[in-house]
Amino acid sequence: MHISARIFKSVFASIVVALLGALPAVAEKPVNTNWRGLAIKGYDTVAYFELGVPQAGSGDYELEWEGATWRFSTAEHKAKFGANPEKYAPQYGGYCAWAVSNDYTAPVDPEAWKIVEGKLYLNYSHKVKANWEKEMAKNIRKADGFWPKLRDN
């Protein structure tokens, strides 16, 4: 019996998808620390809100929160975050907002960001951010639904 390459590839792909679907989802850390153990690749999360621009943090101003090291550009920003980290922390633990809206996680470019209704959202790249913004409200709703499962599984 001879099976065409196209049919074989189709059957093989279906089996792989079925097997992957049977595996348990891998829980993510609550905060994306995929870059040297630092949240937001060492950027100052308070700067997005206070200065309106991304700004690299300094090893001189660090604190630990949610299992991650957060860096700040000033002692004042460190104190503000320490007093109310939920206000300044990026949504979805600092993982890509577009990816989370599609039920997976991805790293971010700290320069691809947007504050929406007082919340910081980061994306993988400027191009991904532009796509995310096309249906931003819908993508935020979807991500809000997916994030607890991605974080807690």
Kindly report, residue by residue over 30-53, the tens digit of the pLDDT.
788 876 789 999 999 999 999 999
Q: Does residue 81 sit within a domain?
A: yes
Look over the chain and give the mean of its residue pLDDT values, rounded to a whole number. 86
- 97 touches 140 (CB < 8 A): yes
pLDDT number for residue 95? 96
Q: Counting every residue, how long is the chain? A: 153
Residues 97 and 152 placed together within one structural domain of the fold: yes
Unique residue bearing structure tokens 């990816």 = 99
Q: What pTM was computed for the model?
A: 0.80
Residues 101 and 80 placed together within one structural domain of the fold: no
pLDDT number for residue 36? 79
Q: Does residue 15 sit within a domain?
A: no
pLDDT number for residue 116? 98
Residue 81 is part of which domain span?
A: 33-85
